[in-house]
Chains A and B, each alone.
Chain A
Amino acid sequence: DGGITQSPKYLFRKEGQNVTLSCEQNLNHDAMYWYRQDPGQGLRLIYYSQIVNDFQKGDIAEGYSVSREKKESFPLTVTSAQKNPTAFYLCASSVSRVGANRVHGYEQYFGPGTRLTVT
């Protein structure tokens, strides 16, 4: 049963603590993404990775870090430097355009999300 999993569903942390959100996929997708969504707002891209051992900053990377050591996994660390970390965090994956003949973008598939609350 292929899909994307994120854990935990709800996470509570004290201000000043780093926290790592998990994202795993078994869709054999090369590309993975992290977004945050605030109430009533759209998705904002944090980081993305088109291939293992490589990742790029998105629009709001400050205060976050990622790693991509395995194709299946793309964990996101919310550091204490992130000013407003409370949000809904969504991970997604897609087929990658790198090396592909197809010239247009591929649809992304999302995990169920993690709601992070920092107090």
Chain B
Amino acid sequence: RKEVEQDPGPFNVPEGATVAFNCTYSNSASQSFFWYRQDCRKEPKLLMSVYSSGNEDGRFTAQLNRASQYISLLIRDSKLSDSATYLCVVNDDSGNTPLVFGKGTRLSVIA
């Protein structure tokens, strides 16, 4: 099964800081990429899809580098409410198979 690798963290940053996470994937045929957010003891929730040209949603920016097979998530002006685990998710394009989830990177934003 194809892999998705993330630095588990934790990343401890002060409020207002900019923080970036990277994620590498092994399947060069992957075509769909997502970032999910999971709060403690809750279900994962879709944060944003990642498009080839890169995309931004408010304080969040996602980038895709196909040549190096990694995606990134940048969070600007961190808020306390951003504290969560961020999951990198990639489709395993070997047919009609489910998405592959990374184990997540834990972020703690400190006042």
Binding site for B on A (CB under 8 A): 31, 33, 35, 41-43, 45, 48, 50, 58-59, 88, 90, 96-98, 103-113
Q: How far is the CA of A105 from the CA of B103 in the complex (A)?
A: 19
Chain B residues numbered 36-68 whose CB sits less than 8 Å from any CB in chain A? 41-46, 49
Q: How far is the CA of A65 from the CA of B98 in the complex (A)?
A: 18
The one of A33, A42, A90, A98 in contact with B98, judged by C-beta atoms closer than 8 angstroms, is A33
Q: Which residues of B contact A33 (CB under 8 A)?
A: 98
The one of B1, B44, B99 in contact with A105, judged by C-beta atoms closer than 8 angstroms, is B99
Binding site for A on B (CB under 8 A): 1, 31-32, 34, 41-46, 49, 87, 91-93, 96, 98-99, 101-104
Q: Which residues of A contact B43 (CB under 8 A)?
A: 90, 110-113
User: For chain A, what secondary structure do more than half of its interface residues adopt (helix, strand, loop), or is it mixed?
Assistant: loop
B102→A42 contact, CB < 8 A: yes
CB distance from A51 to the nearest CB of B (A): 9
Q: Which residues of A contact B1 (CB under 8 A)?
A: 59
Determine which residue in B43, B45, B93 has the highest number of CB atoms from chain A within 10 A of its CB, and name it: B43
A43→B31 contact, CB < 8 A: no
Q: Which residues of A contact B45 (CB under 8 A)?
A: 110
CB distance from A99 to the nearest CB of B (A): 10
On whether A104 and B31 interact (CB within 8 A), knowing A42-B104, A59-B1, A110-B45, the answer reads yes
Determine which residue in A88, A107, A113 has the highest number of CB atoms from chain B within 10 A of its CB, and name it: A107
| Other 7 A-B pairs with CB < 8 A, given A58-B98, A108-B46, A108-B98 | A50-B96, A103-B31, A103-B93, A105-B99, A106-B32, A109-B46, A111-B43
Q: Which residues of B contact A104 (CB under 8 A)?
A: 31-32, 91, 93
A48→B46 contact, CB < 8 A: no
Write the chain A residue with the least CB distance to B90: A105
Q: Which residues of B contact A98 (CB under 8 A)?
A: 96
A96→B101 contact, CB < 8 A: no
9 CB contacts below 8 A, A to B, read: A35-B101, A43-B87, A43-B101, A59-B1, A105-B91, A105-B98, A106-B32, A107-B32, A110-B43
